[in-house]
Amino acid sequence: MKKVRYGVVGLGNMGVPHARHIVEDKNRQFCLTAVCDLAGEKAAKVSEELKVPSFTDACAMYDSGLIDAVIIAVPHYAHGPLAVHAARRGIHVLCEKPLSSSVSHARAMIAECRKRKVKLGVVLQHRTFARNIEARRLVRSGALGEIFRVQMVCSNWFRSQGYYDSGAWRGTWDGEGGGVLINQAPHSLDQFQWIGLGLPKQITSFLATREHKIEVEDTANIFCDYGDGRHGYIYATTAEEPGMDQIIVSGDKATMIVEHQGIRLGKLKIPVAKHIYGTKKQDVIVSAFGGPKQQTTWTDVKIPDRGNRTQHIEIIRGFTKEILTGKGSYACGEGALNELEISNAAYLSGYLGKPISLPVDGAEMDRLLAKLEKERSTGRGQGARKKYYAEMKKLLAKK
Ligand SMILES: NC(=O)c1ccc[n+]([C@@H]2O[C@H](COP(=O)([O-])OP(=O)(O)OC[C@H]3O[C@@H](n4cnc5c(N)ncnc54)[C@H](O)[C@@H]3O)[C@@H](O)[C@H]2O)c1
């Protein structure tokens, strides 16, 4: 395969930009050859604009012979079945985040793509940001020493009520499967674990629908336990302004503050543990009111310029490379599972009122989604969960 021929399924807020980016990009390793949306008029409009054939049924597009890879940009519950259908036809899958609303579907998608030997990538474009790449490099380089705290405030996901009202699936249990944690914050949750300490051992959370008229949470507080006295904290909301996008990582040699486009690094002269035990007796007396303070050197970290190698198109370039050479994907299926483990654990903890161990029990998460739908759904989401769960069950029964 010299050139990867992409189809895009789901021509809404995200699918249309993906289709346009592919057509506009100068990279000649890929091209757009088909588009698809359940809504015929949307499919026809994009087809006319971008001069490619359109479909209203994803499987018909898969069977057309026109595409080698598909970008799935539809509401979350449909990700699983559309990915499995594609994998079974040998079509590579680049799925929008989150992989699905539940880890059970996400794990099945990963297993199916592996079995059919097709690539599974996920659109987590924050992994292409120079700031985040540098922050992760610093942590892995050992510059901060042993990490014992990761903190994230991602209150930069403000959404108006008009946004939630703009699509029947938005903000619903039966259409979307969650709120800020499943739709907006996946990028942040991914950065939290990708830069910081990976998957926690246990999560305790407190969720609230604080401001919006929606069924699901618009605010989440998550406490993460990594064992050995190491902890993490996440605050995510769509109901706060001005928003913050901040990650703080503390280790025994330094603390790093990642905020806006920058990184500040506070390097200690003496590692924390050494300082705790190495303090002289007279210093302790002097320190009764807050010391002894050791010298910390704060610097603004120089972040290498990545030019235009950021955002969604860079994810498509990387995924194309992965298909053609086996190397290049920014986020594969397995890599994208961690953020979903965190959000699912937070839902289970928040709504069941108990700490949750990770990896999450997928069946328990599926039962919770059904229970929340039964108790809280207004029916706006038009039964997508039931429909796509039934389709996935049928598909997975046929190996
Ligand atoms: N990576 C990002 O920055 C980013 C940004 C926004 C949305 N997203 C993700 O993209 C996905 C879509 O979100 P959106 O905001 O574009 O939604 P949207 O409602 O704007 O568009 C979804 C489209 O999918 C179509 N559709 C639904 N089910 C379908 C099916 N079975 N087959 C074909 N078409 C179908 C709908 O008709 C609609 O046109 C979600 O997973 C969302 O989380 C990612």
User: Would you list the domain boundaries of the chain?
Assistant: 4-126+309-332, 129-307+333-399
The whole-number pLDDT of residue 294 equals: 77
The whole-number pLDDT of residue 242 equals: 96
From ligand 1's centre to the CA of 15, what distance in Å?
A: 6
Residue 28 pLDDT grade (very low, low, confident, very high; cuts 50, 70, 90): confident
* Cβ of residue 11 lying under 6 Å from some atom of ligand 1: yes
CA distance 1 to 323: 9
Give the strand order in the sheet containing 120-123: 54-55, 30-36, 4-9, 69-72, 92-96, 120-123
User: Residue 23 pLDDT > 70, yes or no?
Assistant: yes
Handedness of CA 88, 89, 95, 100 (dihedral sign): negative
Give the number of the atom of ligand 1 that is nearest the alpha carbon of residue 76: 41
From ligand 1's centre to the CA of 365, what distance in Å?
A: 22
User: Residue 68 pLDDT > 80, yes or no?
Assistant: yes
| Higher pLDDT among residues 292 and 295, named by residue | 295
CATH class of 4-126+309-332: alpha beta
For the ranges 31-35, 204-208, 308-312, 388-392, which has the lowest average pLDDT?
Answer: 308-312
The whole-number pLDDT of residue 283 equals: 52
From ligand 1's centre to the CA of 150, what distance in Å?
A: 31
User: Residue 254 pLDDT > 90, yes or no?
Assistant: yes
User: Residue 281 pLDDT > 80, yes or no?
Assistant: no
Residue 275 pLDDT grade (very low, low, confident, very high; cuts 50, 70, 90): confident
Residue 112 amino acid letter: E
* Cβ of residue 339 lying under 6 Å from some atom of ligand 1: no
* Cβ of residue 42 lying under 6 Å from some atom of ligand 1: yes
The whole-number pLDDT of residue 285 equals: 46
| Higher pLDDT among residues 231 and 308, named by residue | 231
The whole-number pLDDT of residue 291 equals: 59
Classify domain 129-307+333-399 at the CATH topology level: Dihydrodipicolinate Reductase; domain 2 (3.30.360)
- E-state strands within 68-201: 69-72, 92-96, 120-123, 147-154
* Cβ of residue 124 lying under 6 Å from some atom of ligand 1: no
Ligand 1 pocket test: which of 9, 11, 13, 36 has the largest number of ligand atoms within 8 Å of its C-beta? 13
* Cβ of residue 180 lying under 6 Å from some atom of ligand 1: no
Q: Residues 352-375: pLDDT tens digits?
A: 999 999 999 999 999 999 999 999
| Higher pLDDT among residues 353 and 287, named by residue | 353
Q: Residues 185-231: pLDDT tens digits?
A: 999 999 999 999 999 999 999 999 999 999 999 999 999 999 999 99
| Higher pLDDT among residues 280 and 321, named by residue | 321
User: Residue 277 pLDDT > 80, yes or no?
Assistant: yes
Nearest C-alpha neighbor of 64 from the set 80, 53, 72? 53
CA distance 184 to 321: 27
> Cα 64 from chain centroid?
31
The whole-number pLDDT of residue 336 equals: 97
Question: How confident is the model over 145-159, as a mean pLDDT?
Answer: 98
From ligand 1's centre to the CA of 199, what distance in Å?
A: 27
Question: How confident is the model over 78-87, as a mean pLDDT?
Answer: 98
User: Residue 288 pLDDT > 80, yes or no?
Assistant: no
Ligand 1 pocket test: which of 9, 11, 14 has the largest number of ligand atoms within 8 Å of its C-beta? 14
* Cβ of residue 9 lying under 6 Å from some atom of ligand 1: yes
CA angle, 204 then 336 then 108, to 5°: 95
Q: What is the mean pLDDT of the chain?
A: 95
CA distance 75 to 60: 19
* Cβ of residue 5 lying under 6 Å from some atom of ligand 1: no
Give the number of the atom of ligand 1 that is nearest the alpha carbon of residue 95: 41
Residue nearest atom 40 of ligand 1, based on CA coordinates: 75
CA distance 27 to 25: 5
Longest dimension (CA), the chain: 80
Q: pTM (2 decimals)? A: 0.96
Residue nearest atom 4 of ligand 1, based on CA coordinates: 14
